[in-house]
């Protein structure tokens, strides 16, 4: 039976959207997740929503307990995860406001807990294709259906944060082949892969990082403003695809 975990929120924990919802506090082997889980149903589908950075956005990217978050959703019976994230664009054609459905990642983090298999039997998980292609296809079809400006694929590079890139780093990431940049996809996606969950990301482009000389360098205020202006599109997309998964 399909149960969908949504990481990020995107306003979907609105009581007017969810049916028979409740907030549940949970503790896993790896500790307490970033927020209480909001459990309910949307359009007849069981949904569990988790706020990655806490309900008040108080947890910085490296401080997120990614293992507890993924395990909490796994133990709640989730089979699929849709993760929402703000990203900086490293490509001219990915304008602020566009949605990207990444199919690859580059890990540029340094300090995070990366695996569930750090004790006992060692298991090496293939991440050649880290994101779920079937789930990505459903999301892409939804974006087409709604007429949203989107990109079917892209490589996301995840940095440690919370600081933004230098210009030199931003240019280097472009040379490495990254299309978008954020601070949260890794190790979230690879942990979901280890847990056997179908995971895909809805990435909202909010800025051009700092590589584009005729654009203002990214600021937190810029990210939040663009997300606020475009979050309704992300919400519409997720509401559209939930019954199709």
Which residues participate in catalysis according to the annotation? 207, 209
Task: Report the C-alpha gap between 211 and 133 in whole angstroms.
Answer: 30
- Inter-CA distances, 83 with 49, 86, 169, 197, Å: 10, 10, 25, 12
Q: What is the dihedral of CA 24, 112, 183, 128, to 10 degrees?
A: -100
Token output for 22: 């409740």
Contact 140, 152 (CB under 8 A): yes
The whole-angstrom separation of Cα 166 and Cα 95 is 20
């Amino acid at each position: 039976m399909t149960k969908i975990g949504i990481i990020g929120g995107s306003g979907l924990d609105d009581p007017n959207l969810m049916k028979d919802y409740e907030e549940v506090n949970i503790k896993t082997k790896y500790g307490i997740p970033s927020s209480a889980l909001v459990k309910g149903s949307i359009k007849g589908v069981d949904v569990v929503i988790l706020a990655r950075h806490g309900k008040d956005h108080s947890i910085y990217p490296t401080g997120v307990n990614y293992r507890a978050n993924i395990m909490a959703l796994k133990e709640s019976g989730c089979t699929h995860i849709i993760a929402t994230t703000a990203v900086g664009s490293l490509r001219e054609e990915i304008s602020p406001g566009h949605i990207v459905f990444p199919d690859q990642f580059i890990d540029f983090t340094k300090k995070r807990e990366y695996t569930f298999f750090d004790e006992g039997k060692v298991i090496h998980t293939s991440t050649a294709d880290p994101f779920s292609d079937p789930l990505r296809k459903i999301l892409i079809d939804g974006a087409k259906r709604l007429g949203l400006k989107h990109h079917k694929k892209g490589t996301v590079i995840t940095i440690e944060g919370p600081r933004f890139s230098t210009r030199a780093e931003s240019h280097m990431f472009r040379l490495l082949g990254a299309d978008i940049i954020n601070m949260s996809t890794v190790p979230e996606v690879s942990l979901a892969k280890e847990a056997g969950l179908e995971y895909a990301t809805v990435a909202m482009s909010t800025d051009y990082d700092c590589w584009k000389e005729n654009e203002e360098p990214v600021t937190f205020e810029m990210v939040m403003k663009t997300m606020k202006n475009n979050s309704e599109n992300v919400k519409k997309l997720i509401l559209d695809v939930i019954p199709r998964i």
